[in-house]
Amino acid sequence: MTVAWKRVIAFQIEQLVEEQKLSKTTMAEQMQTSRAITMMSGEI
């Protein structure tokens, strides 16, 4: 994946976060990323 595509995807995610007023943790939980798993297990 090129840098340009990564920037486009990052921009689109940022727009959705703003529209839906999501926190990073909530977004991570919905995407089932390692950040969400770490937060749910209380390791931070």
CB 36 within 8 A of CB 25: yes
| Residue with tokens 């995407």, as numbered in its chain | 31
- For residue range 1-44, list pLDDT tens digits in order: 799 999 999 899 889 888 888 887 887 788 787 765 555 555 54
- For residue range 15-26, list pLDDT tens digits in order: 988 888 888 788
> Using CA of residue 18, residue 22, residue 23, residue 25, what is the dihedral sign?
negative
Beta carbons within 10 angstroms of residue 4's beta carbon: 8
State the pLDDT at residue 37: 56
State the pLDDT at residue 39: 52
